[in-house]
Amino acid sequence: MSGPLLLVGGAEWQEGCTFDAEAFEAAGKPEVLVLPTAAAYEHPGRAVATAEAWFAGFGAKAVGLDVLKRPDAEREDLAARVAAARFVYLAGGSPLHLRSVLKDSAVWRALVTAWESGATVAGSSAGAMALTDPMVDPRGGAFTLGLGLIAPLAVVPHYSGWSEEKTRRTIELAPPHVPILAVDERTAAIRDPDGTWRAAGVGRVHVFLDGAETPLSEVRT
């Protein structure tokens, strides 16, 4: 049975993200492995430091794993670290860079293996976007290929900050029968191991399916 999956709408590791502590407890209080891949060109060390401080606040240990470019993602030693992890967290940044680094790589295969064996996987903003397939293209709101840990599904992060025009475009261009999770910042759409979905955090998760809004609890992916 696959582990829990947390798709976070951005502004990760801040006040209000109570779901992180809950996920840490439910996973058996493991070390949290942070992949700052999406932030490779946006101070990845700063992202890891933020995660370390946040998780330390409730007694957890977070460590960074520098999978920043494609050769890193093919390193067997780094893939082994991911395969052995019980809680993997993908930071925000560029979903396009994240996808290009991890797609069909040794580290990606290790992450899939870990999740399918029960590990908790979380992704925020770019991390949440890239984990799905299709993936919303941040440049215009249309759709492109994602990593596909979970499919068919797409994520719109930072939803409260999206323009009406961009939201309308994304909904109109969505492939048939693909749920779109529009997630506010400091909020998570959580898929529990039994396949059911729920929301946690300070905001809301809106779901659009075939042009209409539907409850998150009715998503079956």
pLDDT tens digit at each of 221 positions of the chain: 899 999 999 999 999 999 999 999 999 999 999 999 999 998 999 999 999 999 999 999 999 999 999 999 999 999 999 999 999 999 999 999 999 999 999 999 999 999 999 999 999 999 999 999 999 998 888 899 999 999 999 999 999 888 888 888 888 899 999 999 999 999 999 999 999 999 999 999 999 999 999 999 999 88
- Strand 135-136 to strand 120-124: parallel, antiparallel, or no bridges (unpaired)? unpaired
For residue 12, the enclosing domain spans: 5-218
Q: What is the CATH number of the domain that holds 122?
A: 3.40.50.880
**Number of domains composing the chain:** 1
